[in-house]
Amino acid sequence: MIEIQHLTKRFGALTAVDDVSFDVARGEVLGFLGPNGAGKSTTMKMVTGFLDPTSGTAKVCGHDVVSDPIGAQRKIGYLPEGAPLYGDMTPRGLLKFVAEARGIPASQRAAAIDRAVSRVHIEEVLNRRIDTLSKGYKRRVGLAQAIVHDPEVLILDEPTDGLDPNQKHDVRELIREMSRDKVIVLSTHILEEVAAVCSRAIIIARGKLRFDGTPADLQAMDPAHGAVSLTIGQAPGTTEALGESLSAIDGVARVEPLDAANGVASFRLYPAEGANVFGPLSALAHERGWEVDHLAVEDGRLDEVFRTVTAGDARS
Ligand SMILES: Nc1ncnc2c1ncn2[C@@H]1O[C@H](COP(=O)(O)OP(=O)(O)OP(=O)(O)O)[C@@H](O)[C@H]1O
Ligand SMILES: [Mg+2]
């Protein structure tokens, strides 16, 4: 559905996007990650035809964005960064305008608008001025204008940025719904969002592709992936003594003491290759009568991995 090959964009001496290649297939929700200035928005602007590449190609459903921009844009819905809208229009007025600009025949416009409106649930604000709406509703209006022509591909640049937690949740829910019949590429700084809605993640930093895989692959890159975390309340004995008992467990390669405060001690146990320490650890805790507050196998911390992959790569 999207084929990007050697895509590059230079602004004077700055290479904002540097030889980036990837494909996106039907059914995928791709999370685009990277520090500030990584080149996420610039890549999206090239795919949506708002910026011409310096070199390389981008195709959407087989249409080259440079040689056949109209063909490509027909297939795309785009929510630009910050979701700019015309504040003095009403959502209804805006959607009519967009439907017309998108070339939807007059006889089908009302139905197309109704469909977009009901998909993002903005029925009750249709006739209010956009600049009087809350940020969450403005974002929904932004999504509605992106889907009015029922595109196969949706490019969403930070769709949940600046929203409160409830609105973030709602917009993610909308994205999940829309992913049933659309390819979605979204950029975000919120790593849990990637795990929550994306089937695949790409990390770029300083314009270069650094990672391409599933969110689970990304989590698995954390050295703590598969480690067992343990918190003991009313810790019997010193952290050192507890640490020693834990190190003695069969299959434990290393024990890392985490914070200890108010009589609570936490540890992370790294198993030796292929070893399962969960069982022996539970048995030891039971035998010693430890008051276990928390015991879990760690999935891996996305923010840790993100930091290692992109450390020191922020750009103005
Ligand atoms: N029109 C432009 N002229 C000059 N430089 C630009 C232009 N647009 C973007 N840049 C630069 O290109 C780099 C990439 O910017 P881009 O907006 O694509 O980053 P981003 O990954 O979207 O970052 P953020 O997470 O902050 O939104 C930055 O250094 C930015 O300053
Ligand atoms: Mg951006």
Among 10, 41, 156, the mutation site with the greatest number of ligand 1 atoms within 8 A of its Cβ is 41
In 250-299, which residue ranges form alpha helices assigned H by DSSP?
Answer: 278-288
Whole-number Å distance between alpha carbons of 122 and 125: 6
Mean pLDDT by 10 residues, the chain (316 residues): 97 96 94 94 96 97 95 94 89 96 94 94 95 92 94 95 88 91 94 92 95 92 90 81 90 88 87 88 90 90 88 73
Instruction: Write out residues with Cβ below 6 Å of ligand 1.
Output: 11, 14, 16, 34, 36-42, 81, 315-316
> Which residues are registered as beta bridge partners of 231?
266, 294
Per-residue pLDDT reduced to its tens digit, 176-227:
999 988 999 999 998 889 989 999 999 999 999 999 999 999 998 888 898 9
| Domains of the chain in sequence order | 2-220 (3.40.50.300), 228-298 (3.30.70.3100)
Specify whether the CB–CB gap between 201 and 239 falls below 8 A. no
> Which residues are registered as beta bridge partners of 64?
59
pTM reported for the whole predicted model: 0.87
Rounded distance from Cα 47 to ligand 2 centre (Å): 14
| β-strands 63-64, 55-60 pairing | antiparallel
In this structure, what token pair is assigned to residue 217?
Answer: 């692959």
Helix orientation angle between 165-178 and 135-147, rounded to the nearest 10 degrees:
10
Ligand (nearest to CA of 189): 1
Whole-number Å distance between alpha carbons of 242 and 7: 54
Whole-number Å distance between alpha carbons of 250 and 232: 20
Specify whether the CB–CB gap between 237 and 294 falls below 8 A. no
What DSSP designation does 272 have?
P
Among 7, 10, 11, 158, the mutation site with the greatest number of ligand 1 atoms within 8 A of its Cβ is 11
In this structure, what token pair is assigned to residue 54?
Answer: 């310096």
